[in-house]
Amino acid sequence: MEKILNWGLLSTAKINGALIKPLRASKRTRLLAAASRSISSAEAYAREWDIPRAHGSYEALLADPEIDVVYNSLPNHLHAEWTIKALRAGKHVLCEKPFALSLNEVDAMIAASQETGKVLTEAFMYRHHPQTFKVKELVDSGALGKLQLIKGAFTFTLTRAGNYRNYKEMGGGSLWDVGCYPISYARMLVGEEPAEVSGWQVTGAEGSDDSFFGQLRFGNGVHAQFDCGFKSPFRSYMEIICSEAILNIPTPFKPGVKSEITLTRGGKVETLKIKGQELYLGEVEDMCDAVLLGKPPRISLADSRGNIAAILGLFESAQHGKNMPLSAIFV
């Protein structure tokens, strides 16, 4: 019988709710514990979600010998610190996006994974969904012609006062929070890192970007354009322009059990229906495959490093008002 992996939640963040259902749906996982900064908070959360154990500190969860995998859903500025601590405590780690806030942090995380032999991967849930596989297959097949331009957006109106997303020092801002998605999507489709990026931002009262507008130029001639933000109505899409057809993905980052994409060729629009799955189940099963079967995670550490490099390049461009070669960042 295959081993059951015991999971621990490193925080009581809202995003945990998305992972709890698939953790209970998988035959290879058991949600065993949750941790908070106080035992009262942890116990209340554990009661709410029917989790067997509550730990009153993050350290206590990492010291629990029965925990095999930690899901790190802490605010962005704490991803690197607690991922490294979890790896060194002998835990495998699924770290919420964005992976980290600097390449030094990313490299320290990668080093800790290599030194401990523990699996570490980033939680970009859309990358494990059948819709994403289908889009990638269509682009790579050449059936749409030569890939030319990728356009995307991810915006919503942030109304929660005091939320960490507003604070630059906590890794806040729309580029880290939602802009990372269209950047990741474009890089996945092109299959290489951008040669240079350019970006513009509108900053809020706390210093983080309320809106960000960016472009990526790839060495093979493909370009990507995106915007993200906290001050606009909800928008989420990717548009893929090739020499012979256009592919539109209306729900690229949060596809569901049923999804549709449209293919426009020669003035005719074709709707492609895709049988999907529960959105977060794929990343849970991917972690199980990596830990139990030794398979490489679908999102490699090099891939996560590339996404962070692109984001840092875009911030540099916005700050200095010029195009930023990724070679200046990606060292």
pLDDT digits (tens, 9 = 90+) for 93-145: 999 999 999 999 999 999 999 999 999 999 999 999 999 999 999 999 999 99
In 3-state terms, what secondary structure has residue 48? helix
pLDDT at residue 204, as a whole number: 87
- Please identify which residue in the block is written with the tokens 């939320």: 163
Classify residue 296 by its DSSP letter. Answer: P
What is the CATH class of 5-123? alpha beta
104-119 CB burial, b ≥16 within 10 A, e <16: ebbebbbebbeebebb
Give start-end residues of each CATH 3.30.360.10 domain in the chain. 126-281+308-328
Give start-end residues of each CATH 3.40.50.720 domain in the chain. 5-123
pLDDT digits (tens, 9 = 90+) for 226-279: 999 999 999 999 999 999 999 999 999 999 888 999 999 999 999 999 998 889
Q: How far apart are CA 97 and CA 178, in angstroms?
A: 9
pLDDT digits (tens, 9 = 90+) for 166-185: 778 778 899 999 999 999 99
pLDDT at residue 2, as a whole number: 73
| Model pTM score | 0.95
pLDDT at residue 330, as a whole number: 65
- Helix 130-141 / helix 180-190 crossing angle, nearest 10 deg: 40
pLDDT at residue 329, as a whole number: 72
Q: Which CATH architecture has domain 126-281+308-328?
A: 2-Layer Sandwich (3.30)
Local confidence band at 164 (pLDDT 50, 70, 90 cut-offs): confident
- Helix 16-25 / helix 281-293 crossing angle, nearest 10 deg: 60
Q: How many CB atoms lie within 10 A of CB 293?
A: 9
List, in sequence order, every residue forming a beta bridge with 54; answer none if it has no partner: 34
pLDDT above 80 (res 160): no
